[in-house]
């Protein structure tokens, strides 16, 4: 199946449609998303820090923690068979949000306009709700439990990578 066709299947997730477990499994598309995810996250991280090497290993830690968190969550839920679809779904949604975040980050950096901060917060909230939605669909839990799990995901991956990065 062509990459464009797979994107058309996964893209409605960004508007809270579909179940990631029912989408096409493609390891090639997973790898493409993983590389794109890493590059986008590296660009955002390098924009916030002065050290490109530090940004590189923090993003590597974040990506590893993301894969580990999803793998463990799905292992304990006995849905590990859908790891590729769920990870692809989460990374694609993060990539779509990040494509909107990049110009807003530039706007924040250049103008320091309060509206840019509100828009940045809205985009971060959109990313959080997408992760909540995916967890809700995959694990088949209620909204409150999936929100707590999404919060735990953000703490484990982003703050975990930052904390481990500080130790290195």
User: Using one digit for the tens of pLDDT, what is the confidence trace for 111-125?
Assistant: 888 999 999 999 999
First to last CA, the chain: 42
Of 165 and 41, which is predicted with more confidence? 41
- How many CB atoms are closer than 10 A to CB 100? 15
Identify the band that residue 165 occupies on the pLDDT scale cut at 50, 70 and 90. Answer: confident
Mean pLDDT of the chain: 93
pLDDT at 115: 94
**Rounded CA gap, 26 and 20, in Å?**
12
- How many CB atoms are closer than 10 A to CB 52? 10
Mean pLDDT in residue range 95-103: 95
pLDDT at 133: 97
Q: What is the per-residue pLDDT across 36-85, written as a single tens digit (0 to 9) for each?
A: 999 999 988 888 887 888 889 999 999 999 999 999 999 999 999 999 99
pLDDT at 135: 96
Identify the band that residue 101 occupies on the pLDDT scale cut at 50, 70 and 90. Answer: very high
Q: What percent of the chain has pLDDT over 70?
A: 100
Judged against a pLDDT cut of 90, whether residue 162 lies above it is answered with: no
- What are the Cα distances from residue 118, in Å, to 16, 105, 129, 151? 22, 11, 16, 20
The one-character DSSP state at 23 is S
pLDDT at 52: 87
Q: What is the per-residue pLDDT across 130-147, written as a single tens digit (0 to 9) for each?
A: 999 999 999 999 999 999
**Rounded CA gap, 23 and 29, in Å?**
12
**Rounded CA gap, 13 and 124, in Å?**
16
Cβ distance 96 to 32 under 8 Å? no
pLDDT at 1: 75
pLDDT at 75: 95
- Torsion angle of alpha carbons 110, 116, 122, 123, nearest 10°? -30
């Amino acid at each position: 199946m062509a990459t464009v066709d797979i994107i058309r299947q996964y893209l409605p997730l960004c508007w809270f449609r579909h179940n990631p477990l029912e989408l096409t499994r493609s390891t090639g598309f997973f790898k493409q998303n993983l590389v794109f995810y890493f590059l986008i996250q590296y660009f955002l991280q390098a924009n916030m820090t002065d050290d490109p090497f530090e940004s590189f290993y923090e993003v590597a830690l974040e990506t590893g923690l993301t894969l580990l968190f999803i793998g463990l969550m799905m292992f304990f839920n006995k849905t590990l068979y859908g790891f590729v679809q769920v990870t692809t779904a989460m990374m694609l949604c993060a990539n779509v949000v990040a494509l909107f975040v990049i110009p807003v980050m530039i706007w924040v950096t250049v103008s320091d306009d309060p509206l840019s901060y509100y828009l940045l917060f809205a985009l971060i909230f959109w990313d959080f709700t997408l992760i909540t939605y995916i967890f809700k669909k995959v694990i088949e839990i209620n909204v409150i439990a999936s929100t707590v799990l999404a919060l735990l995901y953000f703490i484990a991956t982003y703050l975990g990578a930052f904390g481990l990065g500080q130790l290195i």
